[in-house]
Amino acid sequence: MIQHLVVVKPRHPEGSAEESEFLKGCGLLATIPGVQNFELLRQVHPDTEYRLAFSMQFADQAAYDAYKVHPDHLAFVENVWKPAVEAGMDLDLVRLAPRGSYDQ
């Protein structure tokens, strides 16, 4: 399982119509095959400029690779992401096997 978390510094202020449209556009990613447990998130820690995030999970690398080249994802990047995002960062998180004291 791979968690794909994207953190975003949006161009538009919190609560704006543009932010709402951006979130709506992000939400469409949830319909792409292979995307599991899609979530829209607000990033509230003050020490980073990223203010929004979205998260999804893929069962394996093949599902993730198929998502990357899916036409709906490519359209998202052009039509939703580029107009709305000043800066973003991708994080791909895989769980480490538990061991030692944190093995619960």
Least Å from the CB of residue 78 to a copy of itself: 18
Give yes or no for residue 62 binding a copy of itself (CB under 8 A): no
* 2, 90 Cβ separation under 8 angstroms: no
Strand (E) or helix (H) holding 9: strand 2-10
Per CB under 8 A, the list member of 18, 27, 36, 87 interacting with a copy of itself is 27
Least Å from the CB of residue 39 to a copy of itself: 6
Give yes or no for residue 42 binding a copy of itself (CB under 8 A): yes
Q: Of 4, 6, 92, 2, which is closest to residue 51 (Cα–Cα)?
A: 6
Task: Using the minimum distance from each CB to a copy of itself, give the nearer residue, 11 or 40.
Answer: 40
